[in-house]
Chains A and B, each alone.
Chain A
Amino acid sequence: MITLLRFIIFVIPISLISFLYFFINDNDYYPGADFKVSDMPAFELNSLYENSVVNNFDLEGSYLINVWASWCITCRIEHGFLVQLNSQNIPIIGLNYKDERNDAIEWLGKYKDPYRIIIHDYSGSLALDLGVTGAPETFLIKNGKIIAHFSGEVNKRVWGDVFAPVIKKEKVVWNDQI
């Protein structure tokens, strides 16, 4: 009985504290990255420029979706890297999030447009379906499935740490037709 008590007395605190110790030192967890695979939600919204309709059937294969807005300051910082990606023929669909059409168009005029298509999500309905909590956020889609999601500024380091490994592992081939 006493030995059992002694055993319990040791095992619980030791495992607890060792676990916490390992947890503090753990580096695997990458804040902001989510690799849960889910379906690309169905949607039908207006595009930013021509006022034509965009829906999910227009988007096939593999591409990025970047959530941005003219009121989002970090988006301005991220922007340069997106332009770079675009020049490497990586298709980026812009999701203009809760933004006034004119403000968005003006912003793009000032800072260049890295997007193949821009969805104007004024009410944030597609964003809600995607699980977006703010801007900027970036999604990697392959064949109708979201395979990577990053909340925050995408730059060279984040691209290398978060997206590049997935692109390599899933053998992603970009859709040129968008």
Chain B
Amino acid sequence: MLIQIAHFLAILSTGLFLTTFVFSFLFTKKDRNITRLISRIYSHGFLMLTSSFFIYIWLALNDNFSVLYIAQHSNSQLPSFYKITSIWSAHEGSMYLWIVFLCLWGFLYSSYSPNDNILKARTIGVISLIAVGFLSFLLLTSNPFETILPIAPMDGADINPVLQDPALAIHPPMLYLGYVGFVIAFANAISFLINGDKSIKWEESVRIWSISAWVFLTVGIALGSWWAYYELGWGGYWFWDPVENVALMPWLAATAFIHSLSVSSKSQLLRIWTILLSIIVFSLSLFGAFIVRSGIIDSVHSFANDPERGLYLLSFTGLLVFSSLILFSYRLPLLTSKKLITPFSKESFISINNIIFGTLIFSTMLGILYPLIYEYLYLKKISVGAPYYNAIFVPATILACIFLFFSIDSKWQRTYRIINAYTSILFSGIFSLAITISVMLYFVISDLWILVSLFTGLLIIIRYLFVIFEFLINKKYSNPYSIAAHIGLGLLIISISLNSQFSSERAINIKINGDDIYKDYRIKFDNLELIKMSNHDSVMASFIIDSPSGKTFVLNPEKRKYFTRGQITTETAIHATLLKDIYVTLGDQLDDGSWIVNIQFNYFIRWIWISALLMAISGSFLAFSLRGTSR
């Protein structure tokens, strides 16, 4: 009964959103009353949708297995937290969550942006139209409200035990919030283009929404990477898997967009880039949804191998992308600026940044699609993996960072006289070089790219330290959020390079009560226990590890066998310090009773998470500081 109500509410909300859209384009006179009306209809649609969703959560929490999706993905034995997160563990439910979040952003926008914004009504209209499109997709092809009646199953199927993990459970919501958050920028850009008045300044009002969405994207991607690191068992944190790439592309576009936005909000420059990027970010988010769900790419993430759904999503994405690009190209004259970009101004650096990021997005897309194209044309399979992406990303990122280095302290619309920052630049260069060379000599590093990356990261950090220094001493103002976020970037580059250079691993053979030595660490196999939990059996090993500096700690890797699906998983045991992670996994048992144990030393991995966190926190503070200025 409740599920039918939820279903009905979802249909009702679709109708209300459709009405919102129609009204927003019907009324040509834009005054605040019309805008208020449209906001209100939209809010009602949103209310219906969220009520529907809350009912759905309630049904999942209360083990209502007459709902097909809940029966397929949840189970009465699951802890409550995972009953809720099971809702987005597969296609229908995660699509539902996606739509709720999309409408949530729309709702926040309609509530908090001022009503005398001429574009507001149409923006809400565009958001509603997109919501209608996705809701129809949901209700017609991927209905989460389907029931198993008259006889509901006694209990649900268990969800994949790998999914019962806190980080993995929060990763999709974070990512989705990021993906769909850019609908506001997109819808705003579209309304601006439709409206056709080049004097309207829409950019500033969109900043807070875009930066918040960017923060969520950053956190979502970092969470996914962190989870993969501690769960999948082989110590890597980024695999250039198609699904990761498909999340990376919107992030690259979003980062470029935010920078371009700050230029366009101050002047008429870079408007073409800014609008184009707002279309690209959102299109890539939709494209990501398509690739993951259509089954076209074999990946650990593929939700469905359903060509019908793939076709529908592809058509929808295609329609959206085409119409926005047609509109964009029609209005191109509106966006061109007679002014030239002053050489060595901040705008010039951001323009170059846009170009580099655009190239990276293009390359990633090419890398994802090339195997498909190749297979289609030549009927042969190839793989495009890490070697390709590293070959493109490493040089491009270093190039971008060099430009970043020189762009620090550049001015808006004035040529930047490097002479003025001569001291800082020179000394940053000297210090970075000195540190890099010392590291190279002391550790005998011969990998050129790692040294160059290290140097570049140091350049950025030290240069910003000078900026902070100048602020403290000379009271020279600089944007603190920008400083923190870019220091985070420098840190990230250094961490990734050092991690790549110093990390090592070994598979050792060890008997119970035996011990072995790896890199001056003594590892004693202390104990092996059999543990019975509610939904799995576990073999837990106990290792006592003595470090060369005298510290001792215990690590407990496991091998688990889950009952419902007979799945066997390995749980890693990690001893984390800032310098390195000691990472142990239990391998297989040999005929003679000894076990194969995999030990890894992963250097500076914590710094990778810290950098991502730093960037996310800076972004959040920046967004927070913008509240009340969204006009």
Contacts and interface: CB of A to CB of B under 8 A. Distances in A.
A and B touch in the complex (CB under 8 A): yes
Interface of A: 2, 5-6, 9-10, 13-14, 16-17, 19-26, 28-29, 36
Nearest to B369: A16
Contacts of A10: 325, 329
B602 interface: no
B322 A20 contact: no
Contact of B329 (A6, A19, A24): A6
27 contacts: A2-B332, A2-B333, A6-B329, A9-B328, A10-B325, A10-B329, A13-B318, A13-B321, A13-B322, A13-B325, A14-B322, A17-B314, A17-B318, A17-B321, A19-B372, A20-B296, A21-B311, A21-B314, A23-B376, A24-B294, A24-B307, A24-B310, A24-B311, A24-B314, A25-B307, A29-B375, A29-B379
B373 interface: yes
Interface of B: 294, 296, 307, 310-311, 314, 317-318, 321-322, 325, 328-329, 332-333, 336, 369, 372-373, 375-376, 379-380
B566 to A, nearest CB: 14
Nearest to B335: A2
Contacts of B317: 17
Contact of A28 (B369, B373, B379): B379
Given A20-B314, A24-B296, A9 B325 contact: yes
B329 A9 contact: yes
B389 to A, nearest CB: 19
B313 to A, nearest CB: 10
A22 B373 CA distance: 11
For the residues of B in contact with A, the DSSP-based class is helix
Contacts of B325: 9-10, 13
Nearest to A28: B379
A35 B328 CA distance: 47
Contacts of B328: 9
A85 to B, nearest CB: 27
Nearest to A7: B329
B296 A2 contact: no
A13 to B, nearest CB: 5
Contacts of A13: 318, 321-322, 325
Given A14-B322, A22-B376, 10 more contacts: A2-B332, A10-B329, A13-B325, A16-B369, A17-B314, A17-B317, A20-B296, A20-B314, A24-B307, A29-B379
B375 A19 contact: no
A29 B336 CA distance: 47
B296 A23 contact: yes
A172 B329 CA distance: 59
A25 B310 CA distance: 10
A6 B332 CA distance: 9
A61 B328 CA distance: 65
A14 B379 CA distance: 23
A2 B379 contact: no
A19 B373 contact: yes
A5 B272 CA distance: 11
Q: Which 7 A-B pairs have the closest CB atoms?
A: A6-B329, A17-B318, A9-B325, A24-B307, A9-B329, A2-B332, A13-B321
Contacts of B379: 28-29
Nearest to B276: A9
A9 B294 CA distance: 25
Contacts of A23: 296, 372, 376
Nearest to B380: A36
A13 B362 CA distance: 12
Nearest to B330: A6
B360 to A, nearest CB: 16
Contacts of B321: 13, 17
A16 B376 CA distance: 13
Contacts of A19: 369, 372-373, 376
Contacts of A36: 380
Nearest to A6: B329
A13 B332 CA distance: 18
Contacts of B332: 2, 5-6
B312 to A, nearest CB: 11
Nearest to B333: A2
Given A16-B369, A24-B294, A26-B376, A5 B314 contact: no
A168 to B, nearest CB: 19
A6 B369 CA distance: 23
A118 B412 CA distance: 79
A5 B328 CA distance: 11
A10 B321 CA distance: 10
B383 to A, nearest CB: 15
A5 B329 contact: yes
A149 B336 CA distance: 58
Nearest to B325: A9
A23 B294 CA distance: 12
A71 B472 CA distance: 73
Contacts of A14: 322
A36 B378 CA distance: 12
Contacts of A2: 332-333, 336
A10 B318 CA distance: 12
Nearest to B365: A16
Contacts of B373: 19
A129 B464 CA distance: 56
Contacts of A29: 375, 379
Nearest to A22: B376
Most buried by B among A6, A19, A20: A20
B355 to A, nearest CB: 14
A25 B311 CA distance: 9
A29 B322 CA distance: 29
